[in-house]
Structure 1
Amino acid sequence: MADTQVDEKQSAKAERKAAKLAKQIGAFAKAHGGAEGQLAYIGQTGTRIVLVGEDGGWGDLVAPTHEIAVRAAEKSGITLHESFDGDFALKVRTGPYEWTRMAGIQIGGPSNG
């Protein structure tokens, strides 16, 4: 009986987290004219939900488990891609900050930090 209560509590907690993430995904999509995503496993930390807006804006969220990330994406209604390449990756628009930051990391340029 106790195991059932623990499972129910964990399930309810996971559902609340998925709902919260779905709400954040929805807000991102609304701010960027729609959104698509890709899930990236990041080890024990969980799963990163990478978001790309229709306007090229991008961002990410981290879910504690892959299952919660999948549930959040489903609840939000975004399209998920298997990988971050091709036409999906081409939608990302970066600005001067990202380019300077990448150059700083790669070739010793300014780090913006």
Structure 2
Amino acid sequence: MPPRSVPSILVVDDSPSLRRMIAACLRAGGYEVTEAADGDQAQALAMEASFDMLLTDQIMPGMDGLTLIRNLRATERYAGIPILMLTTEADERIRVQARDAGASGFLPKPFDPEQLMAAVAALGS
């Protein structure tokens, strides 16, 4: 499959306003963005299409972010893509769990758009 000219990112967060803010920042940065409201929807979308990166919240109804990461990492398609965990959980324990699940990076909420874009750029390079 030829590489995309525009990187595609799946954004997963159960907060519609936060999800829209993240998506707007990424789109302004030149990324193609698909949004999912929870882990179950994200997993279904990820199996239908290929994404170059995933940004996921941790605490969501249904499937949480750690489970989503583990499930996607178990597939060949998503074994190596960058996955950024976004969460209000600032505890070091959640960082360790995120790394153990396969997260490539961690960004605590709240964050500003510059932090978000810097984290995405660092993971995408």
If you compute each CA radius of gyration, which structure gives the higher value, 1 or 2?
1
**Structure with more of its chain in helix, by fraction:** 1
Both structures adopt the same fold (TM-score exceeding 0.5)? no
| TM-score of the pair, normalised by structure 1 | 0.30
Q: Normalising by the residue count of structure 2, what TM-score does the alignment of the two structures yield?
A: 0.28
